[in-house]
Structure formats: structure tokens, C-alpha cells
Amino acid sequence: MSRQSNRSTDTKKMNSELFTLTYGALVTQLCKDYENDEEVNKQLEKMGYNIGVRLIEDFLARSSVGRCQDFRETADVIAKVAFKMYLGITPSVTNWSPAGDEFSLILESNPLVDFVELPDNHSTLIYSNLLCGVLRGALEMVQMAVDVRFAQDTLRGDNVTEIRMKFIKRIEENLPAGDE
């Protein structure tokens, strides 16, 4: 699955079911290892964070978007460019808070949870928590501290999957020169 030939603008096709299966195997193994939903949620978020800090460079290298001027622009880029590029879906950006520092991403479909049903003994498991970690890690690398959590999850009975993102602060340490 690693790319060793020259990259064209569209990515090589991989079976998305293999991706869903891989993610499912990962979550079930974590459940077996930790036996505690809270712990699994934390681990998924951590793993997502490690993915996010690497994925951001790939995203910036391929999409050539510049620095976003405000949080609204960030939200648009995440929904329209990033999600499209990596998961092939375009969530909608809604529910802006009055201060403009919080918004929701509504996902109609979530490739991670194709064919998945949560059993009763895992009712507090946030299955797609990896995505929260990815978003947090990626934004941290571009000097934005955000809090990402699932507000609604189709696996737990809601109608849509909703990710709530809150801007906490701009990370001032280690700012790249010229970005003040």
C-alpha cells in the first residue's frame, strides 16, 4: 500500500472495505486489551493524534492551501478539502457558536463504521474517536489548540454523526518565523 511510484493527483484506489475491516480489527483488539471503554476511547484518541501530526504535512504538501486567517476558514478547509481528500466525504459545517469559536461537522456517512453495530456492553465506546485525535493532532501542528469530541454518533442511536470542534487558543510557543 505504500506509494513508491510517482504520485499523480488522484490517490491509488484501495478497497475501502479493507480499511473498514482494519479499523474494526484495531478497535476490537483494543477492547480486548483494555477491557474498559473509557480507556479504549483515550487510546483511540492518542493514536489519532499521532496520525494527525503526520497527516497534516501530507495534507499541506498535496493541497497547497495557505494559512487560514480565522477559524471559519479552518472549518471550511477541514470539511471541504481535508475530509474529501482522505475519507471521500464532505461533512457540513453548522451550529456555529455566537463567539465563532465552536462549530459542528455533520457527517452523513462515516466510512469507518460501515457494517458496524455497537453491542450493549460497549455503549460508552466512541468507535470513531480516532478522527477526533487526528483533527486535534493536525491542528496542533499548525499552532491551533482545539478540543474535538463526538456530540452525536449513529452507532449509539442518533440520526447523524456530529463532531463538535472548539477553538481553545493559538499555540504561541515555537511559532514558525514570520507568522506573528
Partner 1 sequence: MAIFSVYVVNKAGGLIYQYDNYVPRTEVEKTFSFPLDIVLKIHDEKVIVSFGQRDGIRVGHAVLSINGVDVNGKYTAEGKEILEYLKDPSNYPVSIRFGRARLSSNEKLMLASMFHSLFAIGSQLSPEAGSSGIEMLETDMFKLHCFQTLTGIKFIVLADPRQSGIDALLRKIYEIYSDFALKNPFYSLEMPIRCELFDQNLKSALEIAEKAGTFGPGS
Beta-sheet strands, E only, within the chain: 92-94, 102-107, 144-152, 161-170
Interaction of residue 57 with partner 1, rule CB under 8 A = yes
Stretch 26-55 residues interacting with partner 1 (CB under 8 A): 53-54
Residue choice 12, 67, 72, 170 for contact with partner 1 (CB under 8 A): 67
Residue 54 Cβ vs partner 1, minimum distance, rounded to whole Å: 4
Interaction of residue 141 with partner 1, rule CB under 8 A = yes
Interaction of residue 121 with partner 1, rule CB under 8 A = no
Strands 102-107 and 161-170: antiparallel
User: Nearer to partner 1 by C-beta: 57 or 158?
Assistant: 57
Interaction of residue 69 with partner 1, rule CB under 8 A = no
Compute the residue count for the chain: 180
Interaction of residue 12 with partner 1, rule CB under 8 A = no
Q: What is the Cα–Cα distance from 138 to 68, expressed in whole angstroms? A: 14
Q: What is the Cα–Cα distance from 174 to 168, expressed in whole angstroms? A: 17
